[in-house]
């Protein structure tokens, strides 16, 4: 669930990315609110929309960087940190993370 280390270029958490520009502001606000309430957000490139494939969903790196920027990692992130599956310093982005 924490295999991704870099945002994708069209991550909704990158300022000006194609997904950031096409999502309604209310949707982005809703995602942020969910994250601040402890929910997780999967990378849209790993979501299994086709039940015939066996893709494992991964946490969105942009969402994790957004949470780290606020010093608010969610419970799953904190657990992954404790067992060595996640290190904030190993995450990077293709652009500026949104506010």
On whether residue 67 sits in a domain, the answer given is yes
Q: 85: domain range?
A: 18-90
Each residue of 3-21: pLDDT tens digit? Answer: 999 999 999 999 999 999 9
On whether residue 11 sits in a domain, the answer given is no
The total number of structural domains in the chain stands at: 1
On whether residue 60 sits in a domain, the answer given is yes
On whether residue 32 sits in a domain, the answer given is yes
Each residue of 55-69: pLDDT tens digit? Answer: 688 999 999 999 999
CB neighbour class for 4 (10 Å; exposed up to 12, middle 13-18, buried from 19): middle
């Amino acid at each position: 669930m924490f295999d991704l280390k870099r945002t994708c270029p069209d991550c909704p958490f990158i300022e000006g990315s194609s997904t950031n520009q096409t999502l309604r502001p209310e949707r982005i606000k809703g995602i942020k609110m969910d994250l601040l309430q402890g929910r997780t957000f999967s990378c849209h490139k790993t979501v299994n929309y086709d039940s015939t494939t066996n893709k494992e969903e991964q946490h969105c790196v942009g969402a994790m960087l957004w949470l780290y920027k606020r010093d608010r990692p969610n419970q799953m992130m904190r657990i992954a940190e404790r067992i060595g599956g996640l290190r904030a310093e190993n995450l990077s982005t293709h652009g500026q993370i949104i506010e």
